[in-house]
Structure 1
């Protein structure tokens, strides 16, 4: 009886140690991501009229860019593009960080409607804001039949930029 009780306590202790270890590993792996996101939010607030943050997205194509969505002092939806350098610091060169009112471009729902109209048979996997060749874009990652593709659409008017990029079969 005493032996059984010791095994149960040992099992519980091992379980707690494993859960704590997994928690610490998660914190360790995500720490850089959270730090970079926080730097992007601070830079966005310093270089724009952003008051309140509602959403952040990280985009990686030719460079790492965080897009911060929020509200300005007039309670209008504002987007701020915050690019990072190769050594993961905020790129604060003149004009690198810039903002745009959401009303001056296509919203996510407008962009989804446009994509469904142009490509009715695709399986959309992800639509996110980003940067492509120095342009603010909607980045579409989708599947059509047996292939995966990327397309970029200009944020301001929804015009496709560049060609479609095909990924190898998975």
Structure 2
């Protein structure tokens, strides 16, 4: 029996291929999403551990931001509000395996009013280094001190510079990253 191709049959066949292509695309998207979740699960678990420890050991009530700092050691800095609704920063030192470091000084809290805010430190940096470009500023630790860590570009080189959280004084650096 000879089959005659009609417009209806051709359109029906195209619909099947379109549906199949969409299903494959959605399946690939779902696979990429699951892969992302799998790859980032350790860092999310470590962040959650640090936030819980910060809430237990300090007056932190609400978390607004969290930062991971890796220089001499791993440290999570949790920014948020305390019981009296004041902005605070909490540093949580970590050790291997995503566990909070044991002992004295593992968790440290400071009111943002007692130190330099991100805006204040950025203004200071722009006054000191007007040619600095592509700046990224994050809180962290450097040689046991609580700092703002600046990553920036100047004249085709990339640098790290540290500023003490309490007074904004430059400490350590600038550290130059090698060119390619």
TM above 0.5: yes
Larger Rg computed on CA atoms: 2
The alpha-carbon deviation at position 86 of structure 1 amounts to 2.5
Q: Which runs of 4+ in 1 moved over 4 A?
A: none
Alignment length, in residue pairs? Answer: 170
Structure 2 residue 80 is matched with structure 1 residue 70: yes
How far did 1:125 drift? 2.2
Q: CA RMSD in A?
A: 1.1
CA contact (8 A) 2:100 2:106 kept: no
User: Are 2:163 and 1:153 aligned?
Assistant: yes
Matched ranges for 1:19-168 at <5 A: 19-168=29-178
Q: Secondary structure at the match of 1:127?
A: strand
After superposing the two structures, state which structure 1 stretch, 90-99 or 131-140, moved more: 90-99
What TM-score, normalized by structure 2, do the two folds share? 0.91
- In structure 2, distance between residues paired with 1:6 and 1:33: 42
CA offset at residue 3 of structure 1? 2.8
* Structure 2 spans left out of the alignment, 5+ residues: 1-9
Please list the CA deviations of residues 95-150 of structure 1 after superposition, one character each: whole Å capped at 9, or x if unmatched. Answer: 12110010110000110011011101110420010000100000000000110000
Q: TM-score, normalised by structure 1?
A: 0.96
Q: Which runs of 5+ in 1 are unaligned?
A: none
Partner Cα separation in structure 2 for residue 112 and residue 139 of structure 1: 11
Q: Deviations over 1:49-97 (max 9, x none)?
A: 1111111111111111110011111111111001110232111321121
